[in-house]
Structure 1
Amino acid sequence: DAVAMMAVGFLYQNGSGVPKSYQKAMKWYRRATESYQKAMKWYRRATETGDAQAMGSIGFLYMNGWGVPRDYEKAMVWFRKAVGKGDALAMEYIGALYAHGWGVQQSGSKAAEWYRRAADLGQHRPPEPASSYRARDRQKVSKIMKWYREAADSGMKAFATYEVGWLYAEGLGVPRNYRRAMLWYRKAAGLGESRGFGGVGHLYMYGLGVPRDYHKALVWLRKAAALGDRAAMRDIGRLYARGWGVPRNNRQASVWLAEAGALAKAAGAGSAGDENLLPRRFHEI
């Protein structure tokens, strides 16, 4: 798929596990771009029949600059068209535009309004990602914890269950408690959340709340990596780089770290939002 093509290009560009070749890197980047361009073509055709999901998908491609120049204003236009057809996911992305100030004046209240509208239609996300609260006041973090707990009991179990564990691991809004983090991560993994598997592996890797166990760490991290979790890929890379539980292997370390970096780049991390903003349907492009 397009994300995998971007990852291969990144490996050749950096010479990670393969001989460095800018020519081959460019070839793979072009193939990825062409894949997104084909997706755009088919989405546009689908919009002619009033397909709301296709309209939202076009907006998402514009928001990330995948196959087209990044254009937040065009993204908003297409998201609003999708919203007009009742697409909850498009409402979520309008919320993201307001939350980050992408192409619009940043507005937390408008972002929350759109997230709530999406949630009312079954597209459940928090008012803001928990990670955005790292350096902010504890009162707000407590509110987000309450939101996640309520959500974990409702329709967005896997996502919210992981986030509760993450807040316990970080000690945000609650006293840091790695054992509780492990409990919530395991629950999330049981619900199929990739970051739940990765969270369990990370705690085993560093002996946080449990005895350090590199073998168990690698088992859990590989499960997460198989589901596309790039934080788990980074941790696997570190295990190989340091020789923790596995023979030290710089080549393997480079491959895993490069793949994580390539997926971050392909997903627009650091520029067009975090991995939580990637809708499931785009993994199929």
Structure 2
Amino acid sequence: MRARIAIALVLALVLAFPASAQDARDGAAAYMRGDFSAALESWRPLARKGDAEAQYGLAMLYAKGQGVDRNPARAVRWYRLAAGQGHGAAQFGLGRMYGKGEGVARDHGAAARWFRKAADQGVVLAQVNLGFMYDKGEGVPRDAGQAATWYRKAAGQGHLGAQYNLAAMYADGAGLAKDDAQAARWFRKAADQGDGAAHYALGEMYRLGRGVGQSNAEALRRYQKAAGLGEANAQLHLAFLYHKGRGVARDPARALKWYRLAADQGLAQAQYGLGAMYWNGAGVAKDYEKAVAWYRLAAGQGLAEAQYALGISYRLGISYRMSMGVKKKHAQAMKWFALAAGQGHKGARYVLGDIYLRQRQVTRGYWLMCAAANQGQPNAQYVLGLFYEGRHAILWPSREPAPVRPDHVRALMWYSLAVANGIREAASYREALAARIPAAQITEAETRARKWRPDPTACGARRAPAAAPRR
């Protein structure tokens, strides 16, 4: 939930100028109306005389290139002079320059030291940035407790990002005791300031009944609010709900709208979902080329489902016009299947296993099938039954030694699981095998099938190769 605060800007802090001198006030007024040249003329002589407020103002002008050519080195000089006099906003500004490496060599340790000086004076942006540095271990030892302390101080002053991060720490139990009620409280405060991510997080709290009374209606309202504010995860969530008809009437057109908005923000899962809508012609005219284009974007981000879908599209020849002939089409299919299989995608493992078996690379094929079967892939479960019954030697003759010994109990168990998952071909093999083995073995196989649960690590899943098989 966390990792959303960036190093903040300092412009808002100009409002903190006290009325120490009429010229300083004139400079602040000029700055606020956008007359940076007048601000420069007011502040420069005062800064040279040692006025900390004017030094801070001059530093801002040089840092942003307002009324003068941008000059980070001069900005650092003036920030340092004001910070040395205890000016809190200037201390924060100097810390920010160290953190970004502008006008001075990047030094997260120095940034943290200046942020602390400013934070101790109650400068809210320094507090939240110091919390972030403790959160990430930048310039200071990573310390979730310290991060929570500084987030809480900034959150108490109304800083939206600090409120969100503090809520996330309560929700995760990171750095402080897990407390869903406190998490919901701070998410709500951030949401009340119009933060889309906080609305989405609060929606999740309502959906799960964590820290608030469970309410699908309120969860949906929060998702809609967050999505309307541009929160990509909420847009994806809404797309899924409308696509599947979960808690709302199924509405492919609305699903398409939200998938597209989230996909345009680069969310891989949304890009894949949008591709599936085009592939299936749901809420939009069927368009395989657009489907493949969206699959490719998601696959390029490492999404296994999209890699598998892209492999299928190339294998079927749907994307022929976008490849450079049949050979490249086949190579592309194998590339994407292998990438998806390497991430543990059961469908891709089954497809690659099938290709290996057809090439008589029986051992490799077996391990891929075994991994997929133990993840619940029905066709792979059927194939495993064939292996344990010893039929692989007939179906896929090879000079390689058999990867497993015949085991009728295991064969019957895998046949039964495949049948239960809709593989009709396995039924005849199951019945034939059951007719010629002892009743005790049948009972044992049935017991194992009832107790079976998916296990992605079983059957030497790590042996399932990620490299594509030869042609």
TM-score (norm 2): 0.37
1:128 corresponds to 2:201: yes
Could you tell me which of 170, 184, 190 is aligned with 1:98?
Answer: 170
**C-alpha distance in structure 2 between counterparts of 1:79 and 1:180, whole Å:** 38
1:254 corresponds to 2:339: yes
Between the two proteins, the alignment pairs up a number of residues equal to 216
Which residue type is aligned with residue 234 of structure 1? A
Verify the 8 A CA contact 1:168 1:177 in the aligned structure 2: yes
Verify the 8 A CA contact 1:236 1:253 in the aligned structure 2: no
Which residue of structure 1 lines up, in the alignment, with residue 294 of structure 2?
A: 220
**C-alpha distance in structure 2 between counterparts of 1:84 and 1:206, whole Å:** 50
Query: What is the aligned-residue identity percentage?
Result: 32
Verify the 8 A CA contact 1:95 1:115 in the aligned structure 2: yes
Partner of 1:126, secondary structure, is helix
Structure 1 pair 60–173 and aligned structure 2 pair: CA distance change class (3 A): farther
Instruction: Give the CA deviation at 1:168.
Output: 2.1
Instruction: Give the CA deviation at 1:94.
Output: 0.8
Could you tell me which of 261, 277, 284 is aligned with 1:203?
Answer: 277
Verify the 8 A CA contact 1:186 1:200 in the aligned structure 2: yes
**C-alpha distance in structure 1 between counterparts of 2:341 and 2:159, whole Å:** 36
Query: What whole-Å deviation, never above 9, does each CA across 1:221-261 have from its counterpart, x for those lacking one?
Result: 455678xxx5x733442245444545313378539977xxx
Relative contact order, CA 8 A, sep 6+: which one is greater?
Answer: 1
Which residue type is aligned with residue 181 of structure 1? A
Structure 1 residues not aligned, in runs of 5+: 1-37, 259-285
Instruction: Give the CA deviation at 1:92.
Output: 0.2
Which residue of structure 2 lines up, in the alignment, with residue 182 of structure 1?
A: 256
TM-score (norm 1): 0.55
Could you tell me which of 140, 156, 162 is aligned with 2:215?
Answer: 140
Which residue of structure 2 lines up, in the alignment, with residue 59 of structure 1?
A: 131
Which residue of structure 2 lines up, in the alignment, with residue 194 of structure 1?
A: 267
**C-alpha distance in structure 2 between counterparts of 1:57 and 1:221, whole Å:** 38
**C-alpha distance in structure 1 between counterparts of 2:183 and 2:124, whole Å:** 21
**C-alpha distance in structure 1 between counterparts of 2:136 and 2:299, whole Å:** 23
CA RMSD of the aligned region, Å? 4.3
1:113 corresponds to 2:185: yes
**C-alpha distance in structure 2 between counterparts of 1:53 and 1:45, whole Å:** 14
Verify the 8 A CA contact 2:166 2:183 in the aligned structure 1: yes
Which residue of structure 2 lines up, in the alignment, with residue 149 of structure 1?
A: 224
Partner of 1:112, secondary structure, is helix
**C-alpha distance in structure 2 between counterparts of 1:193 and 1:208, whole Å:** 21
Which residue type is aligned with residue 147 of structure 1? R
Instruction: Give the CA deviation at 1:175.
Output: 3.8
Query: What whole-Å deviation, never above 9, does each CA across 1:153-193 have from its counterpart, x for those lacking one?
Result: 4x446554443223323543224444431122224456x46
Verify the 8 A CA contact 2:295 2:309 in the aligned structure 1: no
